[in-house]
Structure formats: structure tokens, C-alpha cells
Amino acid sequence: MSEERPNGLIDETSPYLLQHAHNPVQWFPWGSKALDLARSDDRPILLSIGYSACHWCHVMERESFEDEAIAELMNELFVNIKVDREERPDLDEIYMGAVQAMTGSGGWPLTVFLTPDLRPFYGGTYFPPADRHGRPGLPTLLKAVAQHYRVDRDKVDEQAGRLKALLEQNASLGSIEADLASSPIWWETAFAQLSDAFDAEHGGFGVAPKFPSSMSLAFLLRHSRRAMKNESLQMVELTLRKMARGGMYDQIGGGFHRYSVDERWLVPHFEKMLYDNALLTWVYLEALQVTGDNFYGVIASQTLDYVLREMSRVGGGYYATQDADSEGEEGKYFVWNPHELAQILGEEDGQLLCRYLGVTEDGNFEAGTSILHVDEELPELAQSLGMEAGELERLVEAGKGRLFAARQQRIAPARDDKIIVAWNGLMISAMAQGFNILRESSYLDSARETASFILSELVVDGELMHTWKDGKPRYRAFQDDYACLVNGLLDLYEASFEVAWLESARALADEMSQRFWDPDQGGFFYTEAGEEDLIVRTKNPYDNATPSGNSIAALALLRLGALLGDPSYQDRAVSTLRMLNELVERSPTACSQMMCALDFHEQQPREVAIVGLPCDTVPFIDAVHARFLPNKVVMGWAPAMGTTVGELIPLLEGKMSLDQGTRAYVCTNSVCWSPASIVNELVEQLGAATPG
């Protein structure tokens, strides 16, 4: 790799693009310079999409993009464009959909060949540097695709036309007038699909590789509550416990890796994504509410603490990802051998921690190293060792603390310190919910700081931006940026009762509708109208690694309408649900977050208003958040807020007085219970079916 000849990525801010800025490949960022060159030269485009924490993206760079001979071929035959999928999720969504249509699968690195007018005609994911096991190497592929483009232009145009038509068809999802009457069938269909795919031994769904499936787990918790089925809850509990005990979870540092390459959750791909840790925190906190088992609270707390420690920017904002690799090796930062434990902890404690954390001489990973995991729960291990469980727990926790301190001396994986608004919105929600349920003030402080940072630094001339890096906001926000941020601000309002967050949520929701709403078919487009470098305007209907923008928007608008007493927000949410009617009916498990929004709509949310001095309302607030009530909105008033807040939140009107002391008001479907003056009354009302 030559440091003397940077390519067209050298002025970018994305860590992923800068990683490739000294490749011998003549990379361009996506933009008019590259696109105009492809058109003027009539050369096909090689589009490569990835992200900085992606292990196989690094592998393909080392093997191919740093190879002078391969780079020479690429430069001669193609206009080469490199895209960070976290900066341009709109491009990633379009071209990932094309590759999935062509090959039946997708992933990163994504390698797509485009005509100069940006239509895809061939693609795949990782390609090796030479022909291997019947799979064409990148040089073979480059020559074949270039030859095909020159000689068989009619066939190229035909394939590109078919793919574009398919993408356009997928962007037309349904009717704003569709009927939601079949939703009870969808719930049972989704449950049956998840049951069929469920791994009853190890938890999770399907076979290796296994992903966390956070939204499916959230759906199952609601299904359990709705259908009174223990089987749903058992599926969630087994999955959450197995993940948290496996190598998928960082046993000494907290936080979850992206996915497991095996069915046991033992061997992860070691990158850590902000969104996974936000979404899994949501589910672990809800599992704590459902079961009362503090195991789930501990995992949620450790995950949030990891984010505060390693993924938080001073002054607000959560970083995007941490790499899988360090010192050029995947997982090196996270794995151990028995000698290291003995050296750090001493022989006796080292052996104890080796037993508990699964560290062996043979290892379970590369070069005889071990990924930390827990096969025996502490009580069972204590019994087999003839120890008191409390003493063993003390020794284990002390040992893990010393291992963590030792690991801090290692060379850590690189971190992509972009701030991505949608992902930050998800983590604001996680932090706010963490405060509500765990009562740890640092989580609320962090959520406040990040929300303030985004609203001040990522709003430019009144317009929300998508990313921020090194003091520079970039790219206009996409629809899921708005939706996730609105939802996060609503959680922050419910955690703090600070009206400014609710007002900001309303303003952003209105802006989202203005920029992205489809008045003809309902639902939200992913991008604004008039983006000339996009071949199709999609609606982002399905959940992927993150919830679809439409599903989060539907939930946020339902919540906002309930808080503000404004049915126009709820009407827009219901239109979104109707627009996705056919998709949900066909594949409800691909729309798990939308099913959660549908549950909020159908189950008539509890509207809870708590009035009183802050020191007196805490037990009432704790009682609300101790229960699993996913379909609720919570609002509060104290004298310091004044009385004008009633103009924004109608449910507080007539209740802003301390004449009767602290009160909690619970309403549903425009009917209210008598005010609760003691916590037990409130608990009874929260659990009752109807006011009476």
C-alpha cells in the first residue's frame, strides 16, 4: 500500500472511506465527478459498499484493493466508487435489493456493477483475489463483466431494465385504504413462523449464522401478553439467556457483538454496532419488566455502561461502530488463554475464572485462544466446587474486573466515530428507558446530552442532517433519522417530563411528514423527492438490522398523537399500517416492529398523567415503569412547569394543582379511572381491563 498516491477518497470524513484512500484503486466517492466520468467514457461503474467495522470488507481490501495488478484492472475497465453504507443507506438499500434479487442473498462488502445511468446489471458480495473452489476470483469477474458490457450491450440493458422494474415494483407497497381486520390472523401466523424457525436448544431463529432478531423478540413479548401464551415468553427467555451467556456477549466489558457464526452464540463476528446494543437493551429491559428477574436488568445495565464508556462522545452523541479486528486479526482484543489468566489473577483464581468463563488449553477460537462464555451458572458451579454461591460470585466479579483492567492495556479495535442520527435516536430511547426502569441517573443525563447535541449540531439552516464527523454534519437526513429521533425524544420526555423534548418531537414529526409522506398510497418514502442520483424512491418497508423507518414512524406518531391529544398523528400512523397491510399479511415476521406498532394501535394505550412534587411522584412513576405496559404514554406535571403545559398536553388540563396532593390519572379510550392517591390504587388501575 503506497502512502504517496492518495485517491479520490482522501478528502472524505468517513473512517471507512479513509481506510481506502491510499489503495492503488482509483476510488471516487459517490458524486457528480464519478457519475459524469462514467457517462462521458461510457464505462460501467464498479460500486463497492461496506462499513468500517465489517471484517470481510477489510479482508477484501487487503486481498484485492491493495493488490497492484487487480487495481490496474479495475482502473482500466471501470469507474470505481466506494460508499460507506452508514453514510448512504439509501444507496445501500437500492443496490442491496438488486443483489438479493439477482443472487438470493446479500451482505457486505457489497459489489455491484452499474450502467452509467446507475442501473445495476450484475453483483454479489465478497469476491476472492483468485478463482477459488469453483467461485470466480475478482480478476476473472472484472474481465468477464467488462467483456459482457462491451459485447452484449443489449443483454446488459435488458437485465438492467428488469432489475430496475423490479425495484420500482417493490417500492409500490399497498393501498392507504387497506383493511386491518385480518390482524389477529397475522399475530398467530407470525408466532407460528417464529416457532417453526426457533432453536429450542440454543435459542434464536434458524441456523448459523445467528443474528439477535431483537424485533422478533419484542414481538414475542407482546404476543405472550396479548395471547397469554407462556411459549412465547419461554422462547424469548431462552434466547436472551443463551446470547448473554455466549461469546456473542462481551463477558467482561459488556455489550453485544453483531452476530454469531455458529448456532450456540459462541463465536461472534466481533464488531459491535450501536444499533444492536440499543435494540437489545430495549428487549432485556422489557424482559425484566415481564419476569422481574434481575438477570435481564444486569445485562441491560452492563450494555448501557459499555456505551457510556466506549461509544459516547464528550458533549453528546453516540459513535457508530467498533471494529472486529485489532492488530490485523479478528477478535484478538477479546480472546484469552489460561496462561494469561494465571498471570493476571494468580494460579488459583486463574483456574477458577478459566472454569467459569470457558478458557481452556485447546481453546475454542484461533491459535488455541478462547472466547469467553458461561456454560455453568454460578449457583451450579458453586455446588460442583463445594463453595458458597456468594463467595464464588465475589471472586468471579473481582476476577472479571482485573481481566477488564488488563484488557484495557491491549491495542483496542478501531472505532468509527461518526454520529448517525437514526442510531442515536435508538440509543436515546435505550438510555431513557434504562433510566425509567433501572433508575440510574447517568443514563438520563446521557440521553439529554445527546439529544441536545443533535438538535444543535445536526440541524443546519433548519434542516436535520444524517451524520456528523469531526465537526462536520453531512447529508440530509433520511426518513428513519427523523422517525428514530422522534421516538427517542418521546422516550426522553417520558423519562424527564421536560416539555422541550416533546415540542421538538412534534416539530420533527411535522417535518418528516412534509418531506417524506406519500399522499397517494400512504406511508413514508425513505428519501425526499428530487434526488437525481437515485434510480428509485423506496419506502423501506421491512425490518433489517434496524427497524424499518415506516414501522418506527407509525409507533412514534401513535405515541405523539396520544400525548398531544391530536388524532391527525394517529390517522397518519394508521394509514402507514394500512399501506403495509399486504406485506404484513404475506410475511409478518419480516415486519416485527410494525406488528409492535399495530399492537399499540389495537390495544388502546393507557394514558397516565402524574401530578405532584418531584420528590413525591417517584413511587408512582416507578410503579408505572415496573410493569410491562408497552402500549402506554406517560406525562407529568409539577408546579415549576407552570400551567401553560396544558395547552400542549390536553390530558393535563384541569389536573395541574396540588390541592389534593400527589395524584395519578389513568385513562384509556377517552375514559378515565378515579384519580389514584396511593401507589396501590395506581397499580390496580394499570392492571384492570376497563375503568370501573
For residue 115, the tally of other CB atoms under 10 A from its CB is 23
Distances from the Cα of 84 to the Cα of 57, 108, 532, angstroms = 11, 11, 19
Q: Is residue 321 domain-shared with residue 275, that is, in the same domain?
A: yes
Q: Is residue 673 part of a domain?
A: yes
- DSSP code of 673? P
Q: Is residue 249 domain-shared with residue 385, that is, in the same domain?
A: no
The whole-number pLDDT of residue 72 equals 97
Q: Is residue 553 part of a domain?
A: yes
Structural domain of residue 640, as residue ranges? 606-687
Q: Is residue 238 domain-shared with residue 106, that is, in the same domain?
A: no
Choose the final residue of a domain: 353, 378, 407. 407
Cα–Cα–Cα angle for 373, 375, 381, rounded to 5 degrees: 120
Residues 6+ apart with CB under 8 A from 613: 638, 639, 658, 662
- Plot region of 106 (φ>0 → left; ψ -120 to 50 → alpha; else → beta): beta
For 217, list phi and psi in degrees, rounded to 5.
-65, -40
Q: pTM value?
A: 0.95
Per DSSP, what are the bridge partners of residue 467?
A: 420, 474
The CATH number assigned to the domain holding 193 equals 1.50.10.10
Burial of 687 (0-12, 13-18, 19+ CB in 10 A): exposed
CA dist 343 and 638 (Å) reads 56
What are the cell numbers at 471?
465537526
Q: Is residue 33 part of a domain?
A: yes
Number of structural domains in the chain? 4
Q: What is the mean pLDDT of each run of 10 residues along the chain (692 residues)?
A: 76 94 97 96 97 91 96 97 96 93 90 97 94 89 96 95 88 69 82 96 95 96 90 97 98 97 96 97 98 97 98 98 90 97 97 97 95 94 93 96 98 95 98 98 98 97 95 96 98 98 98 94 91 88 90 98 96 91 83 94 93 94 96 94 91 87 90 93 86 58
Choose the final residue of a domain: 109, 140, 171. 171
For 657, list phi and psi in degrees, rounded to 5.
-155, 145
The whole-number pLDDT of residue 690 equals 63
Q: Is residue 372 domain-shared with residue 356, that is, in the same domain?
A: yes
- DSSP code of 651? G
Amino acid identity at 339: H
Q: Is residue 8 part of a domain?
A: no
Q: Is residue 281 domain-shared with residue 403, that is, in the same domain?
A: no
The CATH number assigned to the domain holding 141 equals 3.40.30.10
Per the document, the length of the chain is 692
Amino acid identity at 601: H
Q: Is residue 7 part of a domain?
A: no
Q: Is residue 4 part of a domain?
A: no
Q: Is residue 194 domain-shared with residue 271, that is, in the same domain?
A: yes
Q: Are 411 and 281 in contact (CB under 8 A)?
A: no
Q: Are 418 and 478 in contact (CB under 8 A)?
A: no
Bridge-based pairing of strands 335-336 and 329-330 is unpaired
The residue written with cell numbers 476472492 in the block is: 128
CA dist 302 and 443 (Å) reads 12
Q: Is residue 200 domain-shared with residue 282, that is, in the same domain?
A: yes
Q: Are 527 and 537 in contact (CB under 8 A)?
A: yes
Q: Is residue 431 domain-shared with residue 400, that is, in the same domain?
A: no
Residues 6+ apart with CB under 8 A from 143: 73, 77
The residue written with cell numbers 437500492 in the block is: 94
Choose the final residue of a domain: 407, 425, 458. 407
CA dist 446 and 437 (Å) reads 15
Q: Is residue 464 domain-shared with residue 561, that is, in the same domain?
A: yes
Q: Is residue 5 part of a domain?
A: no
Instruction: Please tell me whether residue 622 adopts helix, strand or coil conformation.
Output: helix
The CATH number assigned to the domain holding 614 equals 3.40.30
Per DSSP, what are the bridge partners of residue 114?
A: 45, 120
- DSSP code of 328? T
CA dist 261 and 270 (Å) reads 10
What are the cell numbers at 2?
503506497
Q: Is residue 189 domain-shared with residue 295, that is, in the same domain?
A: yes
What angle do helix axes 441-457 and 421-438 make, rounded to 10 degrees? 160
CA dist 425 and 279 (Å) reads 11
Q: Is residue 215 part of a domain?
A: yes
Q: Is residue 592 domain-shared with residue 623, that is, in the same domain?
A: no
Q: Are 437 and 493 in contact (CB under 8 A)?
A: no
Q: Is residue 162 domain-shared with residue 22, that is, in the same domain?
A: yes
